[in-house]
Amino acid sequence: MTPPAESPNGSSSEPPGGSSSGSSAEPSTDLDGLGLQPERTLLAWQRTIALMVVVGLLFLRGSLVPGDDNVPEAPLVLRVATMTVLLVLGLVLGVHLGLRWRGSEHGKRAPGTGGPPLHVARPWAMAVLCAGVLVLSGVLMLTVLLGF
């Protein structure tokens, strides 16, 4: 697992590699071992889950001006149900991420490998997230098309 020459994501926030401390006794991957990359990924997960809940709230809110209804609006029961589904999915994802984060010692050491984790969340969490977005998109399209 040698560090690659170029940045994997091309961003400027990449920590400098081990080149500056190559002559010291510290291992060259020490800077990467600070957990910056896993932490960035965890923050990306948190942003995404928060955005999913916010978009769900927008859908729950309905029209800002009551009576402006030339596009059929979803019934309140359906909107509340969608929001509940999104909240449950967000909660499941949050608990999963928290447990994994704690289990990997804040992204420093994954159990088993000893190095930083290859993934912050398991692949099923990605499927859960996609399911949440698809539910919202599907409910939005179906209610407009079916004309509730």
Partner 1 sequence: MGSETGPGDTRGTKRSVDYRFTLANERTFLAWIRTALAILAGAVAVLHLLPLDWAQVPRTAVGLVLAALAGVITVYAPLRWYRVQRIMSRGGPLKMSLLPVITTFAVGLVCALVLLGNLL
Among 20-28, 88-96, 140-148, the segment contacting partner 1 (CB under 8 A): 140-148
Among 20-28, 90-98, 117-125, the segment contacting partner 1 (CB under 8 A): 117-125
User: Which tokens sit at 16?
Assistant: 């400098």
61 DSSP assignment = H
Any long-range contacts for 119-123 (C-beta under 8 Å, 24+ apart)?
120/38, 120/41, 120/42, 120/45, 121/45, 121/93, 121/96, 121/97, 122/96
Torsion angle in degrees (nearest 10) through CA of 108, 111, 113, 115? 0
Q: Note whether 48 binds partner 1 by CB under 8 A.
A: yes
Q: How far apart are CA 51 and CA 37, in angstroms?
A: 21
From candidates 30, 61, 75, 98, binder to partner 1 by CB under 8 A: 61
Question: Least CB distance from residue 112 to partner 1, whole Å?
Answer: 6
Site residues (CB under 8 A) for partner 1?
1-4, 8-9, 32, 37-38, 40-41, 44-45, 47-48, 51-52, 54-55, 58-59, 61-65, 68, 70-71, 73-74, 110-113, 115-124, 126-127, 129-130, 133-134, 136-138, 140-141, 144-145
